Structure 1
């Protein structure tokens, strides 16, 4: 199987030596997405709800570039700066995955890039 790099200007560029996403066979693996608006460059780091929504919008754009959608996501990993933000993150997250939500892990981490509040990555079916 070959790997294919997926990249879109509708999501923030990688902050280092990695790809926004990689497609292998019919699976798409995204890198973690921070709450950076690719149009304005604004980094949301003061509101967990807005940060979660921006991170998911970035992932949505990457999925669309790969020819798939949030409905095809099979696994997510959510990294939180503070587990006390879980309920508010989950409130926003649940609006993006309304029917047959994917499997998910959610962990609190010591520190995220740019001291972010949240980072989310996904694995999706991309045929």
Structure 2
């Protein structure tokens, strides 16, 4: 299975939902997803003060590309803060997080697998 076909639509038509971990300050807006392979395109939002420490360091078995639309957050393991306009491309197995955002952050993310 693959992500579904979508023509342009307002992303505001898609509600934010809680991310895994159930922190009410960390939500995602899933724009397209393939439930079989667990890849997705989403907008991720951390409200001010959000902290993903309970989720620990993340390691995925898929590619993940992330662009920060607004705000900033800090990778607590690296001790580095990343801001609006910055981009990351993470291959499978790359460690990242946990994250904290004092001001809040919104990212656009694309996850996929390479055959």
Structures share a fold, TM > 0.5? no
Higher relative contact order (CA 8 A, sep 6+): 1
More strand by share: 2
TM-score (norm 2): 0.36
More helix by share: 1
